Amino acid sequence: MNFFGIGLPEMAVILVIALLVFGPKKLPEIGRSMGKAIRGFQEASKEFETEFKREAEHLEEAIKAPRQIADAQTTDNEAKDPASSTSQSG
């Protein structure tokens, strides 16, 4: 079990120090508030990640759409006038 690069022995030492500093009555309240803060941070980071992925997909679609239109126009032009496409390539 490894949280933030801290192993189990280090976590136990931190817990004992926190128990001595805050006392047994305050420790559960502090634990709950820390848990809520961590949960809120996780939710915010997931929301940010989802929004980032959504915007990246929109950007990819915006980039692909003009290319597809240009490719379709090039294909249409070559189909209409095949002689001009062979004279240009040679």
CA distance 51 to 60: 14
Mean pLDDT of 55-63: 88
pLDDT at 2: 63
Coil/strand/helix, residue 3: strand
Tracing tokens 């634990």 back to the chain, one arrives at 31
Query: Which pLDDT score is estimated for 50?
Result: 94
Q: In the numeric block, which tokens belong to residue 25? A: 């009555």
Domain assignment present for 3: no
pTM for the whole thing? Answer: 0.49
Q: Is the CB of residue 59 less than 8 Å from the CB of residue 50?
A: no
Residue 25 lies inside a defined structural domain of this protein = yes
- Is 85 part of a structural domain of the chain? no
Supply the range of the domain harboring residue 25.
8-79
How many structural domains are present in the chain?
A: 1
* pLDDT (0 to 100) of residue 5: 76
Burial state string for 6-41 with b = 16 or more CB within 10 A and e = fewer than 16: eeeeeeeeeeeeeeeeeeeeeeeeeeeeeeeeeeee
pLDDT in tens, 4-57: 777 888 888 888 898 888 888 888 888 888 889 989 999 999 999 999 999 999
Q: Does residue 87 form part of some domain?
A: no
Q: How far apart are CA 46 and CA 52, in angstroms?
A: 10
Q: Is residue 89 part of a domain?
A: no
pLDDT by residue (tens digit) across 65-84? 777 777 777 776 666 665 55
